[in-house]
Amino acid sequence: MEINKIYNEDCLSTMAKIPNDFIALTVTSPPYDNLRTYDKKSGFKWNFEIFKPIAEEIYRVTKEGGVVVWVVGDATIKGSETGTSFKQALYFKECGFNLHDTMIYEKNSSTYPAGKKSSRYSQIFEYMFVFSKGKTKCNLIIDKPNKWKGFKDFSGKLKNPVLDFSPRNNIWKYTTSFNGVKHPAPFPEKLANDHILSWSNENDLVYDPFMGSGTTAKMALLNNRNFIGSEISSEYCEIAKERIKEFDKK
Ligand SMILES: C[S@@+](CC[C@H](N)C(=O)[O-])C[C@H]1O[C@@H](n2cnc3c(N)ncnc32)[C@H](O)[C@@H]1O
C-alpha cells in the first residue's frame, strides 16, 4: 500500500488494499443525495446500498481509537428532507462506531435562501458526524475567548485567574469557497485543517475515500500527517494531484 497517494478508483478498490486497523483518521464528504453533478465520465453511482459496504470497509480499516469525520447534508424532495444523513449515521453505529459528536458546519451563505413566501427557514448548515472506533483521544482546539478572562473571584478562592480561551463549541462556521479549484463541491480547507488537528497527531495516516479536489490531502500534508485518497474521477484526481504537488514530501 503506497501512502501519500491519491488512487484514481472506486474507494472500495482502494480499501481492499488497506490492512485492518490502519487508518488513524478519515475526513471526507460523500456525494449528497445526488445534489450535485460530478464528472459524468467517472460513471459513479450513489445510493444507500452503495454506501453500506463503504461504511463497513471504513470501519475495518480504522484503527482502534481512530476517528471518521463524515460531512454530509440532505436533499429536500417533494417537500421532505430525505434524512439520508441520519440514516448513514445510524448505519455507521451498526457497523460498530460510536457516534462521538454530531457537529454542525455553518456556512456563510444558504443553499436555499428563504423568501417571504418560503415555508421553511434558509438552509445554512451541513452535518459533521464524528465517529470513533472505541474510545478516542483528541486535541481539542482551544480558541473560544472567555468572557471572564483574567477574572479572579472576589472571595479570592480561585488560585489562578480565568484563562483567555476555552475549547470551542461544536458548531463551526466557515466561509464556503472554491479555493480556485475546478470541483463542484470542495469543503473549506480550514474545516479539514481543524478536524485533522482535533483528531490526529503528527505522522498519523489520514484517509479520504471521496478525495474530490484534494482538500484533505493538502491539509494533511501541511500539518505533517500522511494521507491516502480515493477519487473515482480521473479529472478530479488530476486537479487534486496538481493542487498538492508543492506540499508533497515525495
Ligand atoms: C463531495 S465530493 C468531495 C469533495 C472534497 N471533499 C473536496 O474538498 O474537494 C465527493 C467526491 O466523491 C467522488 N466519488 C463518488 N463516488 C466515489 C467512489 N465510489 N469512490 C471514490 N470517489 C467517489 C466524486 O467524484 C466527488 O469528487
| Residue type for position 140 | L
Closest protein CA for atom 18 of ligand 1: 10
pTM of the full structure: 0.94
Closest protein CA for atom 26 of ligand 1: 212
- Residue 15: how many other CB atoms lie within 10 Å: 22
* Pocket lined around ligand 1, Cβ cut-off 6 Å: 10-11, 29, 31, 38-39, 42, 44, 183, 185-187, 209-210, 212-213, 215, 230-233, 236
Residue whose CB lies within 8 A of the most ligand 1 atoms, among 232, 242, 244, for a mutation test: 232
**Residues near 32 by beta carbon (within 8 Å), at least 6 away in sequence:** 72, 73, 74, 75, 84, 185
Measured in angstroms, how far is the CA atom of residue 173 from the centroid of ligand 1?
22
Give pLDDT tens digits along the chain (250 positions).
899 999 999 999 999 999 999 999 999 999 988 777 788 888 888 999 999 999 999 999 999 999 999 999 998 889 899 999 999 999 999 999 999 999 999 999 887 767 888 888 999 999 999 999 999 999 999 999 999 888 877 677 777 888 899 999 999 999 987 778 888 889 999 999 999 999 999 999 999 999 999 999 999 999 999 999 999 999 999 999 999 998 876 6
CATH class of the region 5-244: alpha beta
Looking from the CA of residue 44, the nearest atom of ligand 1 is 16
**CB-side neighbour CA atoms (13 Å) of 206:** 29
Sequence spans of domains, the chain: 5-244
**Residues near 192 by beta carbon (within 8 Å), at least 6 away in sequence:** 27, 215, 216, 218, 219, 220
Report pLDDT for 249: 66
